[in-house]
Amino acid sequence: MKMKFFGMLLILSNLLFVNIIANGNSEINNQLIADSSTTTVIDGITAEDIFAKYLSAIGGKEVLLKVIDRTTLMSATFQDFNIDITVYQKAPNKYLQSTSFSGQETFMVYDGTKGYQQSFMGSGDIVGDELEMLKIEASLHFLANWMEFGVKLELAGTQKINDKDAYEVKMILPSGTTITQSFDAENYLKIRETKSISSPQGTIDVTIDYSDYRDVEGVKYPFKLTQAAGGMKLDFDVTGIMVNKGIADEIFNKK
């Protein structure tokens, strides 16, 4: 059980707030959007419409553009383990997550060019599909610029999530990797994300539920995250979010 728990911690760097903030690129070409998505329409709405409504729901373009860096603190408890996570992000695409548990520290970092991770099981460069996903998740303003990453959107349908009607939007990466995001059909906040992550235990399906959205300097963030992966479940509480505190570039040189 202990090794399984440690193995699951290796995938936590794919859990956090990386796609909440979006840039306000107003020069989007309509034909590019059409070429980068399906034409599926449900209830008169498309995948692009849902993304746009999500951005509006969390604060709107003008407020979002003011977020240049963000530090997020969160914690969880599993059996006898206390888990503390700190995530640093800086526009346009720098990212560091540090996870502390049982007197040990693991981290995953992207300096804008290369990715690197260190854990109790070893350390090394992040490559392949994992690097592709990390590049996207490290982009603080991804949602407004998804076309630049070669991502395709597909409105997959609707479903019930925790008694809420939700739209499902699939983001298909150039490699074919798919991340499914689910949005509350009433307020358009993101309430679930599902993906598959490679780990030492093999491919693990990860589901992350988002709730308890709160306002921080005009932007709504989820303060409750529930992750289910590998038959295990962790409930994370966000204990602090700080924006525009002047994160130094040097912090992302960790290796």
- Asked whether the predicted pLDDT for residue 40 surpasses 80, the reply is no
Cα 169 to Cα 137: distance, rounded to the nearest angstrom: 16
The answer for residues whose C-beta is within 8 angstroms of residue 202's C-beta and 6 or more apart is: none
pLDDT tens digits along 199-218: 666 788 889 999 999 999 99
Query: Helices in 70-222 by DSSP H: which ranges?
Result: 128-138
Q: Residue 206 CB: number of other CB atoms within 10 A?
A: 20
Cα 170 to Cα 37: distance, rounded to the nearest angstrom: 10
- Name the token pair of 134: 């990390």
Cα 208 to Cα 235: distance, rounded to the nearest angstrom: 10
> What's the confidence (pLDDT) of residue 70?
93
Give me the amino acid identity at 111: D
> What's the confidence (pLDDT) of residue 236?
94
Q: What is the mean pLDDT of the chain?
A: 82
Domains of the chain as residue ranges with CATH: 2-242 (2.50.20)
> What's the confidence (pLDDT) of residue 213?
97
pLDDT band with cut points at 50, 70 and 90 for residue 142: confident
Please compute, for residue 33, the number of CA atoms within 13 A of its CA located in the half-sphere on the CB side. 16
Cα 68 to Cα 143: distance, rounded to the nearest angstrom: 15
Q: What is the mean predicted confidence (pLDDT) over 235-253? A: 95
Using an 8 Å Cβ cutoff, are 63 and 180 in contact? Answer: no
Residue that wins the pLDDT comparison between 98 and 62: 98
Q: List Cα–Cα distances, 178 to 3, 16, 132, 172, in angstroms.
A: 27, 17, 12, 5
Using an 8 Å Cβ cutoff, are 211 and 220 in contact? Answer: no
- Eight-class DSSP state of 68: -
- Eight-class DSSP state of 216: E
Residue that wins the pLDDT comparison between 111 and 29: 111
